[in-house]
Structure 1
Amino acid sequence: MQKLEKYNFKNKAFALLSLLFILFFSSCEDVVTLDLEAGDEKIVVDAEIIWLKGTTGNEQLIKISKTAPYYNNTTPKVSGAQVRIENSIGDVFVFTEKEPGSYVCTNFVPVINMDYTLFVTAEGQSFTAVEKLTSVTPIDKIEQEIVPDFGGEDVIEVTYYFKDPADEVNFYLTDYQSDFLIFPNYELTDDDFLNGNEINIRFSDEDKIKPGTILNITHRGISKNFCNYMNLLLEVYGGSPFSIPPGNIRGNIVNASDSNNFAFGYFRLCEADKVSYVVK
């Protein structure tokens, strides 16, 4: 009987300690909102001129917004801006606001290796940037295979191939988009050790790629400077650099009157090949 009473006492003590343990860690699940200091509000210019192979490239879009506090669920749009691009032979392409913060041009003329200058006037500030339109070789083929992941589980891996041009330095940016990806997944490549050869780029996502999945692959040619900028973004934000504003990384968009008050974003011009692949 004494032994039974001792056992019951231990059980009661263990139960009490367990309850206190659960209550303690449950109290640790409360959401803590930090009082973060808001930085200076800045203009953000999302200016990608992308010329998809097989199109004229005449329709282009530039988005202008402002930075916002960390806990804001929306991005402030900038309306009433004046936006234009000029090429090196004097042609001017005007972008017209179609909805708040979105500026559209319908007569743009893309020319490989031509220099283009972006001009933006927004909220009393003038910004400018210069970049060259970079070419890209097309995707030759896409293959898939079953490979083991880090845990030894079999996953589907999709690989696309393209021929790198010889006797020139090339940089590439790939983005993958699919229903299972909240944001596009980005990957940078260069021809440092593969100049003039066939290059293959692989993509897998654990068990999320299944037969019937549609994977949209956009393969861009980019400049070395934009490659360096994107490399910094990917190091800081992982595979989704535009999931939050790149507030601490400076692009090529400068303020014409105050160099310290630059805009966030990068003006880039890319030829691209886009393929929609249905996983088998």
Structure 2
Amino acid sequence: MKRIEKHTFKSKTWALCSLLFVLSFSSCEDTVTLDLETGESRLVVDAEIIWQKGTTGSEQTIKISKTASYYNNTTPKVSGAQVRIENSTGDVFAFNETESGTYVCTDFIPVINMDYTLYVTAEGQSFTAVEKLISVTSIDKVEQKIVPDFGGEDVIELTFYYKDPADEVNYYLTDYQSDFLLFPEYELTDDELFNGNLINNRFSDEDKMKPGKTVNITHRGISKNFYNYMNLLLDVYGGSPFSIPPGNIRGNIVNTTDPNNFAFGYFRLCEADQVSYLVK
């Protein structure tokens, strides 16, 4: 059986609702505020270079922010940073700030298996990271069928198929997005037991996936290091990997000015195949 890790906010949401239900009966007048420890604010670099099949991949975006306390309703954006990526042949791709904390490059050149180095200078600190652009095999087809859930009720299930390349080790990250999902659902897959064979991934939502809804499937090729990082991050957080990290989970971004003042986030370069499926 292939190794698949799926992560969603659903179980977390139910737990939160249960907690709020209990609190509503324990006190009708008092506001409950937990005294949470606030750690040192750190830089968060959301640096995913994603090359959609069928596009040039020339426009890429990197976002830079800072961690904030639990009760802060906004994410502090970091302006004025200098951001660039260099490839192993010496080409330089500058990212210019288009709005607070958002840096865009319009002439990026993606090359499979080429090494790229990220350079960020922000708030007097310099950061760097190195990764390789990983390819992905195309999604061959998406199938829909009715299956019973754990309670015996019929639900719609989507299955997409892709041919894993032979004689190499591959790692994949897939996300499912739709207007009936409050947050994307993420799935990690490796080919340890299915190298060179046809692999299928399945997705269903017993409550909200109905005919007429569109599910956007984005299937990425990722490095082993990023796979391990995502596996740890999703296990701890159980949700979106691109939100503020819940703890001291460090990626591949190194502070060359002060190694102790590390940043959160992970510089990754992924080829991706995307399919939009209309549920029947």
Q: TM-score, normalised by structure 1?
A: 0.89
Contact 1:247 1:264 in 2 (8 A): no
What is the alpha-carbon distance in structure 1 between the residues aligned to residue 96 and residue 213 of structure 2?
37
> Residue 165 of structure 1 contacts residue 197 of structure 1 at CA under 8 Å; is this kept in 2?
yes
SS at match of 2:139: coil
Task: Report how far residue 207 of structure 1 moved.
Answer: 2.1
Identify the residue that residue 164 of structure 1 maps to in structure 2: 164
- Work out the CA distance in 2 between the residues paired with 1:126 and 1:95: 15
Separation of aligned partners in 1, 2:142 and 2:158: 7
Match of 1:82 in 2: 82
- In the aligned structure 2, how far is the partner of 1:159 from the partner of 1:77? 38
The residue aligned with 1:191 is: 191
Secondary structure of the residue aligned to 1:265 is strand
Please give the per-residue CA displacement for 1:46-103, whole angstroms capped at 9, x wherever unaligned.
0000000000000000000000001100000000000000000000000000000000
> Any idea what SS the aligned residue of 1:126 has?
strand
Report the CA distance shift for 1:131/1:151 in structure 2 as closer, same or farther (over 3 A). Answer: same
Give, in angstroms, the shift of residue 243 of structure 1: 4.5
Higher relative contact order (CA 8 A, sep 6+): 2
- Corresponding residue of 2:174: 174
State how many pairs are aligned.
257
| Alignment partner of 1:258 is 2:258 | yes
Pairs within 5 Å for 1:227-266: 227-266=227-266
Give me the CA root mean square deviation. Answer: 1.4
Deviation of 1:237 after TM superposition, in Å, equals: 1.6
- Higher mean C-alpha displacement, 40-49 vs 180-189: 180-189
> Take 1:67 and 1:160, find their aligned partners in 2: how far apart are those partners?
36
Could you tell me how far 1:180 is from its partner in structure 2?
Answer: 1.0
Q: What's the offset of the Cα at 1:39?
A: 0.6
Query: How far does residue 244 in structure 1 lie from its aligned partner after superposition?
Result: 4.3
Between the aligned partners of 1:113 and 1:227, the Cα distance in structure 2 is 16
- Cα shift at 1:25: 7.8
Residues 44 and 244, structure 2, Cα contact 8 Å, conserved in 1:
no
Q: Which runs of 5+ in 1 are unaligned?
A: 1-23
Question: Matched residues, percent identical?
Answer: 81
Moved more, 90-99 or 181-190: 181-190
Please identify, of 96-105 and 242-251, the stretch whose mean Cα deviation from structure 2 is larger: 242-251
Q: Which residue of 1 aligns with 2:223?
A: 223
Q: Deviations over 1:229-250 (max 9, x none)?
A: 0001111122433354344211
Per the alignment, residue 69 of structure 1 pairs with: 69
Name segments (4+ residues, structure 1) moved above 4 Å.
none
Amino acid aligned to 1:35: D
Larger Rg: 1 or 2?
Answer: 1
Matches of 1:244 and 1:97 in 2, distance apart? 21
Q: CA deviation at 1:257?
A: 2.1
Which residue in the other structure is 1:149 paired with? 149
Query: 1:145, 1:25 → 2: CA distance?
Result: 41
| Distance in 2 of aligned mates of 1:247 and 1:104 | 28
Structure 2: where are the runs of 5+ without partners?
A: 1-22
Letter in structure 1 aligned against 2:267: F
- SS of alignment partner, residue 266 of structure 1: strand
1:10-89 paired onto structure 2 within 5 Å = 26-28=25-27, 30-89=30-89
TM-score by length of 2: 0.89
Any conservation in 2 of the 1:187–1:239 contact (CA below 8 Å)? no
SS of residue paired to 1:96: strand
Do the aligned partners of residues 64 and 25 (structure 1) sit closer, same or farther apart at CA in structure 2, a change above 3 Å counting? Answer: closer
**Deviation, structure 1 residue 260:** 1.6
Quote how far apart the aligned CAs of 1:38 are. Answer: 1.3
